[in-house]
Structure formats: C-alpha cells, structure tokens
C-alpha cells in the first residue's frame, strides 16, 4: 500500500506539537503488535483524538487506519487527506460496506482504529459501547487493544470553540493490555471488559494529569474530579436532545 500522505502528515503534526509545546505522554506502547492486524479501540473526548490515538502505534512503526464518519471524507480539505491515509469511511446507512472494508484491512495485517462510543463523550468518561469492535476482532482473528486519550478536549471538543493554537497543553495516550476474543465467547461480556479497561486507563490518565483547570476553565474536567463537565446522566440527555434536533431538521428538510 502506497504511503505518500500519512508519514508527512505525522511529521507535520509532530512539528506543530513541538512548536506549541504540546507534551505528549505515551505509555504502554509496547502493547502494540509490531506486525499483523489489531483493532485499536480508543475513548473519544475531542475532534483531534484520531491524531493522538494514532501516536500509540508510532513507536512500533505502525500506522492506524481509523474508521470515521463519511462526512469527513466528503470534505474538500479533509477528504483527500483521509483517503490518502487510507482511513475507512463509515456510512451509517450502509454499515455493511464499512465493516467489510475494515475486515479486509485487518486480514491484510493493518491496525484499524475505532471510537466505539461513536460520538464524543460530553462527560469525559467512557460511554456505553456496542459490541461491533469485538465482533470485528473475532472475525479478523486479531487482538483488541484498549486506548485512552486525555487532554485534546482542551483544544477542540463538542460545544466549545476551537483553540488549536493553544500552547503548553499536556496530552496523555495510554495503551492497555490486549484482549483476545474468540468465536463462541460472550461478546457482550467482552465488550463490558473492554469498556472497563478503557475506563481504568482514562481514569489513570485523568488522575495523573499534570494540569488542573484554572478558574473559569473547569469545563474540561469530569464531574467526578470536581469539574463542571456534565455528569454521564446529564450528557446522555444532551446527546438525546441533539439527536432529536437532527432528526427534526432532516424531517423539515432544513
């Protein structure tokens, strides 16, 4: 597979991080296999997560093919980059083709990245996840690798203005031990185990994070640590309201 786009994009991103003094802490990267397929499953706190979660595989010399919503590929700017990096478009109305493309990538030895929560978590905790990632790993006969990302929400997340040029933001990327689901397992239980592993990694990243919010900035801290982010219950209600508003807009042709 030709890699004309992906390596320069990583090099550029690392250069920007250095210029902005964005300190990326990578932990557990030895859990990423040096060869063969794997499903990398990350939490989702920002619009930048695919950049940082992808760095989890960088020390192993691997590239991650992320599954991302089709709308990004339709963008004039983002589309060519996403296709050039061989990421996988997800059309929610034609999910079978996305699944088939991801499975093909896994069987050819690629690492496929998945945000199993589907949308950004407003509470900055791990939302409920479905068993799709587990089923994909079983079908591809590859491991599941839990990952937690923390920090990028300060630069760009749902409901907040972009602050892409913010300096001195620490970012943590923690990789957990792989899970090896197999055919015949209780996929729902494996999914619960995966979510528990992701939650433990995320809580570790949050509790060990070197910065604390300044006055007026507590929105990026989860409620359980004293921040003003919505609780999981409040976040779920907001998500439902947003989904209903989108549905109504589609129905009105807006």
* The pLDDT value given to residue 253: 66
pTM for this model (two decimals): 0.95
Q: Where are the domains of the chain?
A: 6-218
Residue 171 backbone phi and psi in degrees, to 5? -130, 130
* The pLDDT value given to residue 224: 98
Contacts (Cβ under 8 Å, ≥6 apart) of 160: 153, 219
Four-residue CA torsion sign, 130, 69, 91, 182: negative
* The pLDDT value given to residue 91: 84
* The pLDDT value given to residue 254: 57
* The pLDDT value given to residue 92: 74
Third-level CATH fold of 6-218 = Glycerol-3-phosphate (1)-acyltransferase (3.40.1130)
**Average pLDDT per block of 10 residues along the chain, 254 residues long:** 91 97 98 98 97 97 95 89 95 83 97 96 97 97 98 97 96 98 98 98 98 96 98 97 89 69
* The pLDDT value given to residue 2: 78
Q: Is 253 exposed, middle or buried (0-12, 13-18, 19+ CB in 10 A)?
A: exposed
């Amino acid at each position: 597979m030709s890699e004309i786009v992906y390596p320069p994009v990583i090099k550029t991103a690392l250069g920007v991080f250095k210029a902005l003094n964005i300190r990326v802490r990578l932990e557990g990267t030895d859990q990423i296999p040096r060869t063969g397929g794997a499903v990398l499953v990350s939490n989702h706190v920002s619009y930048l997560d695919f950049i940082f979660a992808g760095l989890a595989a960088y020390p192993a010399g691997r590239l991650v093919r992320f599954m991302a919503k089709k709308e990004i590929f339709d963008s004039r700017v983002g589309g060519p980059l996403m296709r050039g990096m061989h990421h996988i478009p997800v059309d929610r109305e034609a999910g079978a083709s996305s699944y088939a493309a991801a499975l093909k990538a896994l069987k050819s030895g690629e690492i496929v990245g998945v945000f199993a929560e589907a949308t950004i978590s407003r509470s900055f905790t791990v939302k409920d996840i479905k068993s799709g990632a587990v089923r994909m790993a079983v079908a591809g006969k590859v491991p599941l690798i839990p990952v937690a990302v923390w920090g990028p929400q300060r630069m760009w997340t749902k409901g907040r203005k972009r602050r892409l040029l913010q300096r001195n933001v620490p970012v943590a990327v923690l990789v957990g031990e792989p899970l090896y689901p197999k055919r015949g397992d209780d996929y729902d239980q494996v999914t619960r185990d995966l979510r528990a592993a992701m939650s433990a990694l995320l809580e570790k990243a949050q509790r060990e994070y070197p910065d604390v919010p300044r006055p007026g900035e507590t929105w990026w801290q989860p409620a359980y640590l004293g921040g003003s982010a919505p609780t999981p219950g409040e976040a779920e209600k907001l998500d439902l309201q947003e989904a209903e508003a989108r549905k109504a807009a589609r129905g009105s042709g807006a």
